[in-house]
Structure 1
Amino acid sequence: MSHKGSSSSIYSQIRLLIDQGEISSFQWKIIAICFCIVLLDGFDIAIVAYIAPLLKKELSLGSQHLSYLFMSGVLGLMLGSMIFGSLADKFGRKSVLLISMLLYGVSTFLCGLVDNIDALIFLRFITGLGLGGAMPVSIALCAEYSPEKHRMLLCTLGWSGFTVGIAAGGFFSNFLLEQLNWSWLFYIGGVLPLLSILVVLKELPESLEYLVRIGEHRKLSTVLKKMNLQMNDIALSTENLVWGYIEKVPSVRCLFTRDNILLTLLLWVAFFFSLMVFYLLTYWIPLLFDERYSLKEVNILTAMIPLGGTVGAFILAVFIDRKKAAFLTLAISYLASFGLLLFVPSVSGDYYSLLICLFFIGFTIAGAQNGLNLVSPTIYQAYARATGVGWAMSSGRLGSIVGSYIGALLAQNSIETFFNYLSIGGIICSMALFGIFLYRKLVVI
């Protein structure tokens, strides 16, 4: 047997033992650490949304300046995920995670020291680069250490850290801005990930796949023992751990075969418009309602989107886990968002009605986006899943950039016109996912 085949078999055995076993306290610790890292990511990416009205006044900014500020962060997020994703495969996920956290921690802290928009835009881009590396690596580790029977709920927990962080940012901003100026949000947003590096360095293990691939027999043995897995259940030896087991990543052309092309295009459309609408809401709600409500009230309004998304993520995950009709469920969720977005203008004058409406918009959009992240691999053959999901998420990140930028154009219109345009994104997502559901039901037997 070749070394490559032996290593592949070893990782398969490890994967099988994890999937068949119960979750150990060590695995729960990994999931908790990853949740906290993603929470800090969400907090950092959303800081500028909560202080946008203040920045607009204090730095005399126009909507176009704010568009560039919002866009710089998500552009960095997209590029960071591409750059650090490849580095993580080569040098290990833990090492890349530490570098990413250092990068966005320092750059976020420096944002609090600047007082001009050009420097702030540059530093937010650097922050995005770091966030783009930290978030997917954390989620990947969460998935790798989760048993298959609990993986969807545990990965939902990991992803929900992002929306929890965004929501927490709204409530924390209200508290902090009563005592200090907006710079302190950046200081705290920078110091927390820097302090967390010590926890990650000491407590978070390296990827099992990476340890197998580079032949780290001793470290792999230590990690497995912490998960209460018996070494004699796996044919481990230094000799057969020398060579990597990862086969060549398939080309993007595999997504455009006769069987996959329609599914690929529909999935890209869904990701693009889902994240476009989400970032439009997250970044531009504070500015849309700035003149109608106080900053404190506006920040709570903005926090309703990710808060609803967190609740929606878990409820939709449980429903999908039981009913299995994942794409139909998500299509219905986005269809509901279409109606809710059209309903916003009619309740915009009643603060508490608006709070409830925005909560359920978050439930149907951000909650469904979480589900889409988790079920999208299932539409592809096993060999094409990583490539398919990676490109779909890239489409979503492109949508987030477009959403961050065009907000300045849409915000020039009335609130009714703004939300009417957003509702189009909701119905397009619904139609795309319903198309995937029908294709798989009627064409794929």
Structure 2
Amino acid sequence: MPARTTSAGSAEQEPTHSAAVNPVQVINTQPMRRMQKVAVAITIVLNALDGIDVMSISFAGPGLSAEWGIDRSVLGIVLAMELLGMAAGSILFGGVADRIGRRPMILISLLAMSAGMLLCATAGGVVDLSVYRVLVGLGMGGMLSSINAMAAEYANDPRRDLCVALMGIGYPLGAVLGGVAAVLLLQHGDWRSVFLFGGVAAAILIPVVVLWLPESLHFICKRRQPDALERANAILTRMGHPNAAELPAAQTKPRSGYSDILQSGSVRMMITFAAIYFLHMTTFYFILKWVPKIVVDMGFVESSAAGVLVWANVGGIVGGAIVGLLAQRFGLRRMVVAMLIGSTMAVIFFGRSEADLILMTVIVTLAGFFSTGGLIGMYAIIARAFPTQTRATSTGFVAGVGRGGAVIAPIVAGYLFTNGIGLSSVAALMGAGSAIGAILLLTIRLAPMRPDYQLR
């Protein structure tokens, strides 16, 4: 039955079946209800855990280095362990999320992250801590691929880009909040309290997901279990949407994960996306990892350097929001290309800036704006480019390979600095990654958001 109009002129949906509508069409075409907005909000908070953890190890590093008597090279290995775990988790568990569901994968990831962070607080040496950081990274990798898919699949068509972008800004938001929390905790405790905070935060989110984040309707319809329509209608009823009378048309050979990508001819596109992500991350992580050291080397105190990095994350929050809000008007690809080029320019300008704290803060804020905006836009493009049965797998692979750029960028920059290459030249070389990524993005043929009710 169609929506009826109230005397105030607003549409009110009748809770009846419609033979022409299936559950995914309801989600794609109907206005977003409160429960859908809550689901997207939960993905934002879940992504914030990544930012919180990045700041936790950054703030805990000096304390544990002093207590254990380790130098920067050893600490660098510990810092890399989480990124390696995250890369492995993204590649491995994205496919798992496309088989067992987004919600179970999110819960498994939360358990791994909570356990890993709490164990970090008990670590007695570098080996223990490295193992626990890998566990945290594995959980984060599985989380990222699942929440990107979940945010895309609980949004309707007009709001999909915005919802994925909002999910993405959870990272810089968590980095800002995590930095503030770490400063407060370290005033009254040692580095262990920072990890305890992260572990408890992850544990608290487990019942939140259980209670308020249902499984993706796209996934339920794709898997086509015997009770799929009943489960889908139960979720639609909770949301306040009309029930559906049928499931989407079934695939001849339902597949998921890497096997479907190989058979669908999407391998080239997925590899290209991974290359773009990798290149952009070399630019992005040059800013994240080297800005504090560069600012201190210019003669400023460490607290000032930390403040500059916080502003990079503030810029990232604004950049992600701008991409989500303006993507419908100006086109998502155009927005992301502009952000990637802006990222390159900001890093080059940073390399040529004078030792002026205010000027450097402004430039780094712009670098965060463009870099994070481009990264978040990539998530939205991936959600558009791949169908339900491979969305988590594709996101996981792209993010996993891309994290290699995060690992390599600080090492390459350090090697260049050690060999006497100046800041302006290093910044130009590291900033080039985003510009090359923008060129590659222009070579990809992108279709509009796939009609997932056909489950192609």
Q: 1:81 to 1:181 in 2, by over 3 A?
A: same
Q: Is the Cα contact below 8 Å between 1:17 and 1:229 reproduced in 2?
A: yes
Letter paired with 2:48: L
Letter paired with 2:237: K
Q: Is the Cα contact below 8 Å between 1:163 and 1:310 reproduced in 2?
A: yes
**Hey, what's the Cα distance between the residues in 2 that align with 1:347 and 1:58?**
36
Q: Does 1:234 align with 2:234?
A: no
**Hey, what's the Cα distance between the residues in 2 that align with 1:348 and 1:58?**
36
Q: Does 1:250 align with 2:261?
A: yes
- The percent identity for this pair of structures is 22
Residues 242-288 of structure 1, C-alpha deviations (whole Å, 9 max, x = no match): x99556613188246xxxx5x66654432112112222332333344
Q: 1:365 to 1:351 in 2, by over 3 A?
A: same
Q: 1:39 to 1:383 in 2, by over 3 A?
A: closer
Q: Does 1:219 align with 2:224?
A: no
User: Offset of 1:36 from its aligned partner?
Assistant: 1.0
Deviates more, 1:179-188 or 1:115-124: 115-124
User: Offset of 1:153 from its aligned partner?
Assistant: 0.4
Q: 1:287 to 1:40 in 2, by over 3 A?
A: same
Alignment of 1:271-282 (within 5 A): 271-282=277-288
Residue 265 of structure 2: SS of its match in structure 1? helix
Q: 1:245 to 1:24 in 2, by over 3 A?
A: farther
Residues 306-340 of structure 1, C-alpha deviations (whole Å, 9 max, x = no match): 2211211121333332122x434433333333332
Letter paired with 1:18: I
TM-score of the superposed pair, with normalisation by structure 2: 0.82
Show structure 2 runs of 5+ residues with no match: 1-18, 447-456
Q: 1:123 to 1:105 in 2, by over 3 A?
A: same
Letter paired with 2:227: E
**Aligned to 2:90, which of 73, 78, 81?**
81
Deviates more, 1:292-301 or 1:97-106: 292-301
User: Offset of 1:28 from its aligned partner?
Assistant: 1.2
Show structure 1 runs of 5+ residues with no match: 1-9
Letter paired with 2:322: I
**Hey, what's the Cα distance between the residues in 2 that align with 1:181 and 1:316?**
39
TM-score of the superposed pair, with normalisation by structure 1: 0.83
Q: Does 1:357 align with 2:360?
A: no
Deviates more, 1:150-159 or 1:38-47: 38-47
User: Offset of 1:106 from its aligned partner?
Assistant: 1.4
User: Offset of 1:358 from its aligned partner?
Assistant: 0.9
Residues 80-114 of structure 1, C-alpha deviations (whole Å, 9 max, x = no match): 12232222223222222112111111111121222
**How many pairs align?**
422
Alignment of 1:24-63 (within 5 A): 24-63=33-72
Q: 1:115 to 1:344 in 2, by over 3 A?
A: farther
Alignment of 1:387-402 (within 5 A): 390-402=396-408
**Hey, what's the Cα distance between the residues in 2 that align with 1:72 and 1:405?**
14
Q: Does 1:111 align with 2:117?
A: no
**Hey, what's the Cα distance between the residues in 2 that align with 1:116 and 1:297?**
30
Residues 111-157 of structure 1, C-alpha deviations (whole Å, 9 max, x = no match): 12224222222211111011111222122112111101100001111
**Hey, what's the Cα distance between the residues in 2 that align with 1:186 and 1:357?**
31
Residue 298 of structure 1: SS of its match in structure 2? helix
Q: Does 1:334 align with 2:335?
A: no
User: What residue number does 2:22 align with?
Assistant: 13
**Hey, what's the Cα distance between the residues in 1 that align with 2:417 and 2:187?**
27
Q: Does 1:270 align with 2:276?
A: yes
- Answer 1 or 2: which has greater helix percent: 1
Letter paired with 1:360: L
Letter paired with 1:114: A
